[in-house]
């Protein structure tokens, strides 16, 4: 049997040559293959996606596809979700295995189990605490939630999910993104002094017994390295310079950035909102650079100005790992009957992870 094609050969191709190969492979594979693309993908890759979306939409699209192969232009946890929601019946491919998420890496099973055991020294977490994991997390953390009465959320449905979580138990442990957890709980009316940050590097999360007892939400000390670059002063400066301007950001931003923004929501929400705006609107957008640049180009002819929130480059370097070369490589291998970079979640993890994902998917957003 012929060996798989090597990525080294594809790394020598320019983007134009890759485009031609990708288009040819798409024609040959037809309905057997679908390319899913997250909104943060660079334009050179995004344009090849058959379906695009935010994390929630992509997980729903993955669960509904009839295609035999799902080529996921996104990051590792998204491809894992696609494998889990299709029960391993589809072949999910991540064109570059190095496309991870630095926030997802801030929590792992060992640290979450340690947290649960430490909480058990103060209260009974299985009776009192619903674990909620942001979808930006490894499959085994979703499995942890599934087997401890917990659930997954995305940036779109975090509020609905938290409301559900509080109906189950009186407290929530939210990981790995403290900012999404804080913003969502704050919007629900929870005072900040009923939220405590669980510092996983410290014994008992760095909290006293009283602080743990008082907290309604325990926020894991994780964050997105891209969204933490947006600062309240960026919004303040814009308000001064463009008094009639509108500000929109992703809920992974700091609470103060979210509070100063007119609107807060997922990447899908940001795209839909800005695209629906009146000519003459001037937007300040706090999310990843590739999305904002593409949106700015798209909206220019309609007289809508889209400005990036930070003076610094805030790009998701892991999303950027998927390039036309890796996409062409994975597709040409498929055409040749070879599967490279398949993402498979072992059944013993996939089963409870699916429970936590299904709880989320069954809630209306």
Is 137 a residue that touches ligand 13P (CB under 6 A)? no
218/181 Cα distance (integer angstroms): 9
Determine which residue in the list 165, 217, 224, 264 makes contact with ligand 13P, applying CB under 6 A: 224
All residues at 6 or more sequence positions from 74 whose CB lies less than 8 Å from its CB, including other chains? 36, 37, 38, 40, 41, 58, 94, 99, 319, 322
| DSSP assignments along 28-86, one per residue | HHGGGEEEEEETTS-HHHHTT-SEEE-HHHHHHHHHH---SEEEEES-HHHHHHHHHHT
What percentage of the chain's residues is helix, strand, coil (to nearest 5)?
50, 15, 35
Residue 310, Cβ neighbours under 10 Å: how many? 16
Nearer to ligand 13P, 104 or 353 (CB): 104
267 binds, among ligand 13P, ligand SF4, none (CB under 5 to 8 A by kind): ligand 13P
248/1 Cα distance (integer angstroms): 53
Is 154 a residue that touches ligand 13P (CB under 6 A)? yes
Nearer to ligand 13P, 86 or 136 (CB): 136
Q: Which stretch binds ligand 13P (CB under 6 A): 150-158, 192-200, 303-311, 320-328?
A: 150-158
Looking only at residues 233 through 252 of this chain, which bind ligand 13P when binding is defined by CB under 6 A? Answer: 250, 252
Interface ranges with ligand SF4 (CB under 6 A): 75, 101-103, 136, 224-226, 252, 288, 316, 318-319
55 binds, among ligand 13P, ligand SF4, none (CB under 5 to 8 A by kind): ligand 13P
Q: Nearest distance from residue 116's CB to ligand 13P, in Å?
A: 25
Looking only at residues 97 through 136 of this chain, which bind ligand 13P when binding is defined by CB under 6 A? Answer: 136
Q: Nearest distance from residue 317's CB to ligand SF4, in Å?
A: 8
Q: Nearest distance from residue 11's CB to ligand 13P, in Å?
A: 26
Q: Nearest distance from residue 104's CB to ligand SF4, in Å?
A: 6
All residues at 6 or more sequence positions from 168 whose CB lies less than 8 Å from its CB, including other chains? 130, 149
Q: Nearest distance from residue 99's CB to ligand SF4, in Å?
A: 9
**Would you say 63 and 78 are in contact if contact means Cβ atoms under 8 Å apart?**
no
| Angle CA 97–99–101, to nearest 5 | 130
Q: Coil, strand or helix: which one is 211?
A: helix
262/239 Cα distance (integer angstroms): 11
79/319 Cα distance (integer angstroms): 12
Residue 187, Cβ neighbours under 10 Å: how many? 16
Determine which residue in the list 267, 277, 290, 318 makes contact with ligand 13P, applying CB under 6 A: 267
| Angle CA 352–356–360, to nearest 5 | 155
318 binds, among ligand SF4, ligand 13P, none (CB under 5 to 8 A by kind): ligand SF4
> Per-residue contact track with ligand 13P, 23 to 62, x per CB under 6 A?
-------------------------------xx-------
Q: Which stretch binds ligand 13P (CB under 6 A): 154-162, 197-205, 233-241, 305-313?
A: 154-162
CA 86 to chain centre: 19
102 binds, among ligand SF4, ligand 13P, none (CB under 5 to 8 A by kind): ligand SF4
Give me the helices (H) in 97-194, please: 109-119, 125-128, 139-147, 158-168, 178-187
Q: Nearest distance from residue 290's CB to ligand 13P, in Å?
A: 12
Give the residues lining the site for ligand 13P (CB under 6 A).
Answer: 54-55, 136, 154-156, 224, 250, 252, 266-267
């Amino acid at each position: 049997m012929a060996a798989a094609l090597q990525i080294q050969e594809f790394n020598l191709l320019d983007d134009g040559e890759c485009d031609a190969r990708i288009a040819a492979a798409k024609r040959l594979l037809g309905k057997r293959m679908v390319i899913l693309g997250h909104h943060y993908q660079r334009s050179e890759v995004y344009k090849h996606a058959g379906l695009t979306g935010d994390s929630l939409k992509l997980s729903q699209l993955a669960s509904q596809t009839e295609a035999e192969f799902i080529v996921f232009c996104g990051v590792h946890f998204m491809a894992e979700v696609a494998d889990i929601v299709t029960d391993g019946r589809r072949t999910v491919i991540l064109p570059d295995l190095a496309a991870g998420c630095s926030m997802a890496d801030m929590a792992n099973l060992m640290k979450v189990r340690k947290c649960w055991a430490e909480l058990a020294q103060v209260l009974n977490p299985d009776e009192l605490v619903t674990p909620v994991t942001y979808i930006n997390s490894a499959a085994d953390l979703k499995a942890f939630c599934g087997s401890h009465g917990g659930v997954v959320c995305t940036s779109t449905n975090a509020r609905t999910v938290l409301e559900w979580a509080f109906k189950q138990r009186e407290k929530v442990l939210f990981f790995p993104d403290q900012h999404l957890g804080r913003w969502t709980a704050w919007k629900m009316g929870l005072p900040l002094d009923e939220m405590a940050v669980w510092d996983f590097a410290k014994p008992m999360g760095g909290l006293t017994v009283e602080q743990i007892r008082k907290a309604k939400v325990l926020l894991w000390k994780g964050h997105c390295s891209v969204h933490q670059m947006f600062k309240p002063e960026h919004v303040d400066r814009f308000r001064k310079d463009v008094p009639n301007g509108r500000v929109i950001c992703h809920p992974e931003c700091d609470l103060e950035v979210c509070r100063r923004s007119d609107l807060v929501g997922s990447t899908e929400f940001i795209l839909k909102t800005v695209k629906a705006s009146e000519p003459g609107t001037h937007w300040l957008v706090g999310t990843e650079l590739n999305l904002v640049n593409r949106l700015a180009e798209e909206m220019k002819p309609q007289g809508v100005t889209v400005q990036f929130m930070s003076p610094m480059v805030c790009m998701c370097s892991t999303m950027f790992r998927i390039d036309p070369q890796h996409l062409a490589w994975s597709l040409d291998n498929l055409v040749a009957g070879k599967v490279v970079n398949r993402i498979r979640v072992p059944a013993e993890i996939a089963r409870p992870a699916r429970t936590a994902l299904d709880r989320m998917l069954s809630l209306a957003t």
